[in-house]
Amino acid sequence: MRARTTTVAALAASLLLGAAAQAQAPQSLRVISPIFGQLVSFAMPSDFVAAFENTKDGHYIREAVLKGETPERWTQMITVTGEKGMTLTPGSSPQIFAGTIAGGFKSACPDSFAARPFGAMTFGRFEGFVAVIGCGRIDSGPTRHSETALLITLKGATGYYTIQWAERGPESDEPPLNDDRWQARLHDLSPIDLCPIMPGEAAPYPSCVNKR
């Protein structure tokens, strides 16, 4: 009888802990931003806040970090970028664009770079490519650390866009590419899509919010 009581108590405690963890999980907010002629739409966890934004010479970037962190000192960052008119570049594709970004990572850590492609995907009606890339050891930031990112590239009507969810951790021989959290984060960012900018429409962009 004592064993049964203990088992029931342990099960009850486990259920309570599971419910508490679920209650503490951050909710997601639909983020829709006009960037170079299209609306970029995705879901962002509510514990992230925008910390930096800039547009210069056909390049757009916005960085969001966890509440309490900064663009200089962060553990996780969600970055959105846009490249104006890039679809006119001969031979361009979401996979090639992802490879260019991966090359930038590799130049920062040639001895500990690794990549894991998830492959070509479609977001709405737009072509994309998804991969996990990272450095096991990198010296940018306050201390040496690993830096790994889920990289999503999208080919828009005239420009290219990326959504990146990066995380810093302890330095290692190679970044944690095979962790299940990268697939989970791709799911957390979904639905990802590009919408047309409708004349006279302002935020919250109902034509994109209600898109099916």
Residue 162 near residue 152, CB atoms below 8 Å: yes
> pTM of this prediction?
0.85
Mean pLDDT of the chain: 88
Q: What is the pLDDT of residue 23?
A: 43
Residue 8's H or E segment, with its range, is helix 2-24
Q: What is the pLDDT of residues 159-207, one digit of tens each?
A: 999 999 999 999 998 898 988 999 999 999 999 999 999 999 999 999 9
pLDDT of 15 strictly over 50:
no
Residue 16's SS3 state is: helix
Sheet holding 59-66, edge to edge: 48-56, 59-66, 76-83, 160-169, 145-155, 126-138, 113-123
Residue 45: cis peptide before it, omega within 30 degrees of 0: no
Query: What ranges do the domains of the chain cover?
Result: 52-197
Of 165, 188, 207, 191, which Cα lies nearest the Cα of 28?
188
**Which class for 111: exposed (0-12), middle (13-18), buried (19 or more C-beta within 10 A)?**
exposed
Tell me how far apart the alpha carbons of residues 69 and 203 are, in angstroms, rounded to a whole number. 27
| Residue whose entry in the numeric block shows the structure tokens 């890039």 | 86
Q: Which CATH class is domain 52-197?
A: alpha beta
